[in-house]
Structure 1
């Protein structure tokens, strides 16, 4: 579902912000690294759990996340005892563009974020995650840092499999209007019309073989991996078994979890979908990282 479609279908009651957590929590602005700025959410009046969460920017969106998704998620998790940092990477939100030129810039910044959380709270084990490019960054860094005990990939790495193509094209073959539109698009391309840039062109996915290798490496380390896909990425994921199709036997490991929620849009705009996400992540964290 597109963001516009979610907005049109939703009523005001659907999209109002979830109520604030009743459990007390503290939030403070944190400066660290090369001018990076973040907000640290910590439980108040109790010792934090031993695993913290770091949320990474979704595309060019400020650390609040799409439609304040990260704000709401951070406060929910902090109310349950987790330390959560949502921060702006270099050149985004309140973090100025770094003057340093380095191929490892993102890795260094996320490492500095984890260092800052440990200095502030003493927690030294982490779950990295985010939506879209935030998921991409988490997946790219996790194999390189042993402090990462889990990754939450919301509409993250994925590949269109043979099954995906069958499920996508077969129903369209029985719709003449869709077939005609597809032929017209193909004819325009053959006449030299430039192809429109889509969301998939802006993603940072490795080759599939490399992605499978990363998952095996994370599995061998005991890292917990959650891959949750929505209807917003139907261009490359459209079935609950597709992660198994794309990545193979590693998905049979108890360390791996895959979900497909076609009713949800890419930003979890509708309140009921956010509530479902928050409840699922809460249960996943409690099950995978017991105290």
Structure 2
């Protein structure tokens, strides 16, 4: 959710997309008289980047309001950037060169000669290594900095195992031959270089270090920067663990952000920025081109409030354009970069797509006066309608839509609401219509598993060990088990309850919507992981295993074995991709 304090007020419009050297950046111009200072954001990697991504946007908006422009960007081979090309710089030098190029772009776009660097995690290590190459740097902010590459990779390996275990990914589907986390793979040559790196400071005028209490390396870096002559502001990184654990429930470190914005603002000099180079932003960004696709970062909606990427085939376009929805608060590149992979592979089959961040997600600012918690909120239908409007104006209809988890819920609600959408592929929907009696925050923090999952987990020795150590929320787990039992009872009682007046209104609505979709020939592809909790809700309306769906000729249902809720394993992703491709071809 958006935690905006006095110094963290969001903008109305999304930042302006730029492309350079196969990379995508977002330039946020100053919204006030500009001094000769601009900020370059240097990101961490992996799951940490997914959590930090929105924070960068919030900070960029706040800096803009204070007269400071900024640029944030994706490293080569990450996010929306092109994959690493043959002949590119090898190892860590590739990402270090990306930072240097981004700094040059920022100076050109902003008209500023002086730059401040704001970095986190691995980004801090990279930024410290190239700081001397950036010229005229007013200062550097290092949030939870990586100082030992070997220790970082070891910690990343442990973190990756925890994520895999938490998702329930079978051992055979876990990535063990490469440094990875949450489906993201780090190039082997980059990992090999990181393993050799130890940073111990650099020459800079000012530094801001957000230290984690249990990481002595953070404070050692602050001391090293002081020894090198820097004026260092050292603060406690309050809320770090809650911030970077999971994008779905990430809690933004508001106090850290406000202190950081205040520190950066204090670096401004008296000289104004030169305005003779900012005019280049009036032009649209250049397309990025891969072997079978061309991509253009775009903004759309009122005031350009939504940000996304339009991906089209190099050759003839075939099939319906696909709107690829994000999941929860993940940026549109997707969990494990799945949104990017899907878009580019669809383009290889002649299918265009639009992936984008909904309001208050990733790089799209919230709607003024809108809800803080946007998941499962009807306001998101406006974002999808704006995306369809954009495709219509671009002459890219007909369109279909796809999504996973909360994105699948939005996909279903959108195809019901907007007749311009010809079909939807929805994977692991928690529900088809949100029960207003349920608190979204409570559900996403403690979504119950299927009953047999609790049984199997209780039989594991590791579960008993965690219980003994007090690492398991016994009350919460018991509550969820009761809910699972109650749902199972409800599943069998629902046909009886629906006979009584005033009961089953939600059930009647959902059944009616499926009938309406069949009547207008809107195709629905339903995909579930075999143990997904959404199957319980499906059974409440259509019987065990969704057998009642057989009455709808427009619905096709698939169960994926050995797949987690996020469809992390390769086989699960492939099945999802095939379903989306088939839908787009069907609705050409």
TM-score bracket, normalised by the shorter chain, equals 0.7 to 0.9
8 Å contact kept, 1:61–1:93: yes
Distance 1:2 1:225 in 2: 31
Larger Rg: 2
- Root mean square deviation of aligned Cα: 3.9
Partner of 2:426: 153
Give a deviation string over 1:103-141, Cα, whole Å, max 9, x none: 853222111111112223x12222112110001111112
Partner of 2:389: 115
Partner of 1:76: 345
Size of the alignment, in residue pairs?
257
Give a deviation string over 1:70-122, Cα, whole Å, max 9, x none: 111111112111111110011111101111448853222111111112223x1
- Which among 28, 31, 41 is matched to residue 296 of structure 2? 28
Partner of 2:312: 42
Could you tell me which runs of 5 or more consecutive residues in structure 1 were left unpaired when the two chains were aligned: 160-166, 186-191, 201-205
What is the CA-CA distance between 1:5 and the residue it aligns to? 3.4
8 Å contact kept, 1:155–1:266: yes
SS at structure 2 position matched to 1:283: helix
1:89-104 equivalences in 2 (<5 Å) = 89-101=358-370
Partner of 1:163: none
- Which among 325, 348, 355 is matched to residue 86 of structure 1? 355
8 Å contact kept, 2:169–2:562: no
Q: TM-score, normalised by structure 1?
A: 0.73
Asked whether 1:279 is paired with 2:553, we answer no
Distance 1:2 1:221 in 2: 42
SS at structure 2 position matched to 1:263: coil
1:205-244 equivalences in 2 (<5 Å) = 207-231=506-530, 233=532, 235-237=533-535, 244=542
Partner of 1:144: 417
**CA gap 1:231/1:97 in 2 versus in 1, 3 angstroms:** same
8 Å contact kept, 1:229–1:259: yes
Asked whether 1:59 is paired with 2:358, we answer no
What is the CA-CA distance between 1:280 and the residue it aligns to? 3.9
**CA gap 1:114/1:176 in 2 versus in 1, 3 angstroms:** closer
8 Å contact kept, 1:224–1:256: yes
Distance 1:197 1:58 in 2: 26
**CA gap 1:43/1:197 in 2 versus in 1, 3 angstroms:** farther
SS at structure 2 position matched to 1:237: helix
SS at structure 2 position matched to 1:6: coil
Partner of 2:106: none
**CA gap 1:243/1:123 in 2 versus in 1, 3 angstroms:** farther
Distance 1:260 1:71 in 2: 24
- The structure, 1 or 2, with the larger RCO (C-alpha pairs under 8 Å, 6+ apart) is 1
Distance 1:261 1:243 in 2: 20
8 Å contact kept, 1:243–1:258: no
Distance 1:236 1:155 in 2: 6
8 Å contact kept, 2:425–2:583: no
What is the CA-CA distance between 1:236 and the residue it aligns to? 4.3
Give a deviation string over 1:223-264, Cα, whole Å, max 9, x none: 00011000451x3427x9998526664533321101111311
Distance 1:98 1:176 in 2: 44
Partner of 1:164: none
**CA gap 1:106/1:98 in 2 versus in 1, 3 angstroms:** same
Partner of 1:6: 169
Distance 2:347 2:365 in 1: 27
**CA gap 1:104/1:265 in 2 versus in 1, 3 angstroms:** closer
Distance 1:158 1:113 in 2: 23
SS at structure 1 position matched to 2:168: helix
Give a deviation string over 1:199-241, Cα, whole Å, max 9, x none: x9xxxxx9333221111111111000011000451x3427x99
8 Å contact kept, 2:351–2:584: no
What is the CA-CA distance between 1:157 and the residue it aligns to? 4.7
